[in-house]
Amino acid sequence: MPQMGTLFRVQKIDRPNENILDIVQELCQKRQRHDQILCFVSSVTEVNQCCRILKEISRGMLIAEPLVQSQHPDVQQKNIEHGTIFFSTTVAETSLTFPSLKYVVDSGMINMPAYDIDLKRTVLKEVRAAESTLKQRLGRLGRTQPGEYYSVYSFKVDDLKYPKPQICQTDLMNLEFSLRKSPLKGGLNYIREFLPNEPSQQAITSGIQELKRLGIMEGNGANERLTKSGEVLSGLPDFGSLSMSKAVLAALREYHCGRDLIALSSILGVLNTTTFFKALPQQFKSVDGDFMTLLNVMNNILLLKGSVPANQFNLDEVCQKRGLSGVKHIIAQAMRRYTTLEESFKRSPEFSKQAQWTSGDWTRIARALLTGYGDNVFVSMKELKDRVHRFVRYSNPDEIAVLDLQSTLTRSISATPVSIVLARDIRHSTAIRATAILSFIGAIKTDWLEFSTKRQIVLSNEEEAYLNANNRFSTTQSTFSNKINMQMSGGTLLLTGPTGTVLNAELHLRQQLVDEMQFSLTTGTTVTTEPNSNMAINLQSVTKMTQIFNPLKWRWETQKQVEITINGNTATKICDITVKGRDSDNKKVKKEFDSFMRWLKNCVVIRHPSAGVPPRILRPQMRKNCRDIEERIARVTDSNRTLIDLYNSVKSSKATRETRMEAVGWIAVCKFNCKVEGGFVRDWIVGHYSAKPAGKTNPKDWIEDANEHPYSNRQLIPYMNKELVPADLDCHLPSHAYFDIDKFEDELYKLGISCHIVREDWRYVLLLDENAKTGPFTMDLIEPHVALTHDRIDFDVSNLSLEKDYTHELGMRIDIEQKPYCIDLESIVDNIKNKRFRILRPIDDFLRRRIDKMQRLRGWTQTGEPLSVIPSPAAKHYVVLVSLPSTSTLYTAVATEIRKISGAQIVSIEEIKNPFLEETYEGMKKLIGKQCKNGDPNEQLLFHGTKAAGIEGIPENGYDDRHFVATGAWGHGAYFADDPQKSNNYTEANPTNQRRVIFYSKVLLGNISVQNVANQTIVAAPLGFHSVQGTAFTYKEYIIYRYGQALPYLKIIYKV
């Protein structure tokens, strides 16, 4: 930037992409007592936010004053005289003088309104400031003392010398009308050649076409002129916009409330923000909305003014008595404007009388406003069976909005929103992701909407058939046909006619479309589903904790007005579900429950919502070397983290892909109560590992071709390159609160993080930062009821989780601290730090791919023998059996042995989990181990054939010494073999399905007494021994004599 001629020297310091508040705190450390700091940001919202955050992070030691256009000049001057730190916008910067300004910190950004010709709307965009604007900001310095100018922006200053002229980025309709009614009688096409910066022909034509659409202009080319209606409007005073002019004209001519509209337009003409309502006493606020609230204020002041002589009226005293001192400067402007309009109408021969008519009736006033603002009618989406607290422009279903928080019609989140509103302002901003904001609004009724409209509603085939059945549609037609046209065919319902009647008909038809669907969650009727199967047991558990579906119910009720009732029937052990909504929505709800049932079918034991290991701090011996881990944990879980920290994580020059992932994780955990678990916790939070794919310098190439997930309903799911570390974020949505994906996306948008969402029946999949230079990543947000079915874990190092406000602690999703696994938090962290992992489930084809990725692509090594961690059975059940994958290593090994039996065909192999037997077995293992050499209890895997009651009894009760064979070759014991051919001799085929059962068991042989001769008198192993090995026959036999010395491990079902 060129040097400016200032009285004192100004030093320019570049601090690109740094946080303004960090710089302010730094300057406060070195400033002298009276030095002042002025910061320029882009919007009023950012001004107030910076002031608030600075106070919070400094614990009240640093107080910043806002300088914005809506403040009274006296307030601004007082702040400048007594304040030290200031935040301002471009709008407020031009007329203020600072006595001791030493520092200026400039974001280099401004908010600029720009009209979108195609969308017919003005959008407030954050854009870079021009060089002339930056010079003006810098020129604040050097007047009373030397100064320092800190530039936080990174763009090249002289790329934009001057701001784009406002005439080139505004809606030209009002300007075109002003020129047409002026003595010039010509429009922009006539004078454009004389303008230093010409607006585009497209913009001019758009303004003219809008005037013609409103019936204000007619003709073409040289014959374009004002219509009779336009001529009448041109004779009115300037009300700031054509819409307000039309409303006032309607009030004068048709609705006998001219004075009301003149007073209302006076105060609306000086208001451009709704902060006015915040300062109003409750007595002025109207249930009809903002328009009547403003009119109440004006009527109150005008009544008092008219009751005393003009020279005795004191606005300051009146405002003070009425509690309006905070908005006195605005009321003063409105009163001056009203006086001007009043004098103008007194001189009007046509409207002087009508301008005195007042009604105070909202119905009349609203009808007049609708004449000018008829396009600005918004309907609550709740009325249309859609999202609560969202509004849709009735003439354009693609435009969604929310009410301004300062509006008198804003309701609490739990209250029913107002049904229909009329808005003066529809504010669009690039700072807001997907919705407009409605300001200055009033509640209206359908009867007042007389202008014509057309509505098109998409129907499913079933919904169309439903409306045709029982004369539903024909009855509705006969009710409304005298007022509107109704057609239905090809999945489309078309309504045309007066807006109020169309809306009433649509609401009636939408209510007709509400249907009830009933279904049940059952185990099914297939022969493979047995009464005591895992599926049946899990479903029984579900009937006792139907609250796990609450987030699903809240989501559908909030987003689509669908009511879901779930009754858990513990007697029949099923869940009865009733869904009440549109048929198309009901089917989607059913699909979500179907998806849950598929997960439940593959689940061993559905977890309790509070299952897992609660977060805890590492033990002191390890914690002292893991302080960096705790710092990273806090960056995701500390709800007191400031916006400055978040800004530095995502936008500063030091921001990385990993810090941006931390910020997204923080939003999920701290703002939406999610849990983060899996690979991100392993690789980044604990391991601090990061890696980029070799040979792929363009981050967009890290996104692999999208794949279809088995449960994805054929949607394409984005995946990251396998070499990328960390690859993604895995989150479980909260079970106690409604998760609003739109609000989550809004939070990401505030931080400049792009988001593409794929919705499946059981999760959201998000592709984030797709075009960011730091690189993209994905995120899974899993529904809480589905997360409870994820009861197995692949590796010990993938079992860690993070929770809100546990800023130093790590939790475990699956409890693997319990016996017999005994894997504690410290051993997991140690494995991660040394790039080791332990396998915790049978190795099948899927797990082999996971192992290959960990070893070959990421350089980890496997440690220890693979375990098979199976969750404990549900309450009141002692054992659970889990199918062993046929592609697993263990299955293959056991199947090879079983095939030694002539003609054997394996039906299934199931793992057995019985915590009580395991506890007894582990205790026996320690006892025998301490009596053996080197502490080795000599554990072997052996076969045991059985029949009848033994098939059910052994998994439930183990090898019970009360039922040992009394007449065996080596006495009263439990007999095992290392060859299944021997065990097969003791099985018996089920007469129904010809199936046989052999158990593959863990047996503690300890010190073995080898005996070559049978001895049926033995009742215990000889002294000094723990078992007997009989070798008198073809196959070796192994006999134990104590309970708890063997543990059933696998149940092998086969046919011969």
Residue 733, pLDDT above cutoff 90: yes
Q: 999 — phi, psi (to 5°)?
A: -100, 135
Q: What percent of the chain has pLDDT over 90?
A: 77
Last residue of a domain, one of 463, 485, 516: 516
- pLDDT (0 to 100) of residue 710: 46
Strands (E), 693-785: 703-708, 716-720, 728-732, 755-759, 763-768, 777-782
Is there a single domain that holds both residue 835 and residue 916? no
- Structural domain contains residue 643: yes
3-state percent breakdown (helix, strand, coil) of the chain, nearest 5: 40, 25, 40
Give the whole-angstrom CA distance, residue 894 versus residue 409: 71
Q: Residue 338: pLDDT band by 50, 70, 90 thresholds?
A: very high
Is there a single domain that holds both residue 685 and residue 572? no
Mean pLDDT of the region 31-54 = 91
Q: 189 — phi, psi (to 5°)?
A: -60, -30
- pLDDT (0 to 100) of residue 874: 82
Mean pLDDT of the region 816-823 = 90
Is there a single domain that holds both residue 209 and residue 148? no
- pLDDT (0 to 100) of residue 709: 47
More confident residue, 482 or 408: 408
- pLDDT (0 to 100) of residue 77: 85
Give the whole-angstrom CA distance, residue 968 versus residue 485: 92
Give the tokens for residue 285: 């606020």
- pLDDT (0 to 100) of residue 966: 85
| Residue 1034's CATH number | 3.90.228.10
Is there a single domain that holds both residue 914 and residue 793? no
| Residue 156's CATH number | 3.40.50.300
HSE (side-chain half, CA atoms, 13 Å) at 886: 3
Bridge partners of 704?
719
Judge residue 276's burial from the number of C-beta atoms within 10 Å of its C-beta, 0-12 exposed, 13-18 middle, 19 or more buried: buried
Give the tokens for residue 197: 């910066």
pLDDT tens profile 872-888: 888 788 999 999 999 99
Average pLDDT value for the chain: 92
Is there a single domain that holds both residue 152 and residue 245? no
E strand or H helix that includes residue 881: strand 880-883
Residue 684, pLDDT above cutoff 60: yes
List Cα–Cα distances, 867 to 126, 602, 886, in angstroms.
Answer: 56, 19, 17
pLDDT tens profile 1020-1055: 999 999 999 999 999 999 999 999 999 999 999 999
Collapsed DSSP state (helix, strand, coil) of residue 780: strand
DSSP secondary structure code for residue 252 in this structure: I
Cis before 349? omega within 30: no
Residue 532, pLDDT above cutoff 80: no
Mean pLDDT of the region 832-850 = 94
Q: Which of 1036, 1042, 781 is nearest to 928 (CA)?
A: 1042
Q: Which of 857, 860, 856 is nearest to 839 (CA)?
A: 860
The dihedral region occupied by 943, where left means phi > 0, alpha psi between -120 and 50, and beta the remainder, is beta
Q: Which of 620, 945, 977, 613 is nearest to 811 (CA)?
A: 613
- Structural domain contains residue 430: no
Q: Residue 673: pLDDT band by 50, 70, 90 thresholds?
A: very high
Strands (E), 523-590: 563-569, 574-582
Other beta carbons within 10 angstroms of residue 248's beta carbon come to: 29
- pLDDT (0 to 100) of residue 531: 54
Considering the entire predicted model, what is its pTM? Answer: 0.87
Q: Which of 755, 739, 786 is nearest to 591 (CA)?
A: 786
Bridge partners of 782?
732, 763
Give the whole-angstrom CA distance, residue 558 versus residue 546: 19
- pLDDT (0 to 100) of residue 706: 60
Q: Residue 526: pLDDT band by 50, 70, 90 thresholds?
A: very low
pLDDT tens profile 891-933: 999 999 999 999 999 999 999 999 999 999 999 999 999 999 9
Mean pLDDT of the region 1001-1017 = 96
- pLDDT (0 to 100) of residue 665: 98
Is there a single domain that holds both residue 706 and residue 640? yes
E strand or H helix that includes residue 393: strand 391-393
CB-based contacts of 972, cutoff 8 Å, min separation 6: 964, 965, 966, 1018, 1019, 1041
- pLDDT (0 to 100) of residue 222: 83
- Structural domain contains residue 23: yes
- pLDDT (0 to 100) of residue 643: 84
Last residue of a domain, one of 366, 389, 413: 366
Q: Residue 4: pLDDT band by 50, 70, 90 thresholds?
A: low
pLDDT tens profile 477-509: 888 878 899 999 999 999 999 999 999 999 999
Residue 621, pLDDT above cutoff 70: yes
- pLDDT (0 to 100) of residue 434: 79
Last residue of a domain, one of 309, 339, 366: 366
- Structural domain contains residue 868: no
Residue 90, pLDDT above cutoff 80: no
Give the tokens for residue 360: 């105070």
- pLDDT (0 to 100) of residue 705: 65
List Cα–Cα distances, 409 to 383, 415, 439, 545, 1004, in angstroms.
Answer: 16, 11, 10, 39, 76
Is there a single domain that holds both residue 252 and residue 338? yes
- pLDDT (0 to 100) of residue 527: 40
Other beta carbons within 10 angstroms of residue 822's beta carbon come to: 10
- Domain of residue 111, residue span: 10-164
pLDDT tens profile 388-401: 989 999 999 999 99
Q: Residue 761: pLDDT band by 50, 70, 90 thresholds?
A: very high
Alpha helices in 989-1055 (DSSP H): none
- Structural domain contains residue 953: yes
Residue 529, pLDDT above cutoff 70: no
Is there a single domain that holds both residue 943 and residue 809? no
- pLDDT (0 to 100) of residue 715: 66
Cis before 820? omega within 30: yes
Residue whose structure tokens are 């705790």: 630
CB-based contacts of 193, cutoff 8 Å, min separation 6: none
- Total structural domains in the chain? 6
Mean pLDDT of the region 298-312 = 92
Is there a single domain that holds both residue 617 and residue 596? no
Give the whole-angstrom CA distance, residue 463 versus residue 989: 55
- pLDDT (0 to 100) of residue 5: 66
More confident residue, 470 or 859: 859
List Cα–Cα distances, 197 to 121, 168, 190, 855, in angstroms.
Answer: 22, 7, 14, 65
- pLDDT (0 to 100) of residue 953: 94
Residue 691, pLDDT above cutoff 80: yes
| Residue 476's CATH number | 3.30.1370.10
- pLDDT (0 to 100) of residue 74: 79
- Structural domain contains residue 373: no
Mean pLDDT of the region 254-282 = 94
Give the whole-angstrom CA distance, residue 398 versus residue 566: 34
Mean pLDDT of the region 640-647 = 88
Sign of the torsion formed by the C-alpha atoms of 40, 42, 45 and 49: negative
Is there a single domain that holds both residue 508 and residue 526? no
- Structural domain contains residue 1011: yes
Is there a single domain that holds both residue 1047 and residue 918? yes
- Structural domain contains residue 756: yes
- pLDDT (0 to 100) of residue 483: 86
Sign of the torsion formed by the C-alpha atoms of 213, 219, 224 and 227: negative
Is there a single domain that holds both residue 329 and residue 455? no
Residue type, 348: S
Residue 260, pLDDT above cutoff 70: yes
Collapsed DSSP state (helix, strand, coil) of residue 1052: strand
Give the whole-angstrom CA distance, residue 802 versus residue 678: 10
pLDDT tens profile 588-613: 999 999 999 999 998 999 999 988 99
- pLDDT (0 to 100) of residue 443: 98
Sheet holding 810-812, edge to edge: 613-616, 810-812, 800-802, 675-677, 728-732, 777-782, 763-768, 755-759
Q: 1003 — phi, psi (to 5°)?
A: -125, 130
CB-based contacts of 385, cutoff 8 Å, min separation 6: 510, 513, 514, 560, 561, 581, 582, 585
Collapsed DSSP state (helix, strand, coil) of residue 1000: strand
Q: Residue 528: pLDDT band by 50, 70, 90 thresholds?
A: very low
Other beta carbons within 10 angstroms of residue 282's beta carbon come to: 7
Residue 712, pLDDT above cutoff 70: no
Give the whole-angstrom CA distance, residue 317 versus residue 779: 60
Between CA 995 and CA 1004, with CA 998 as vertex, the angle to 5 degrees is 170
Residue 711, pLDDT above cutoff 70: no
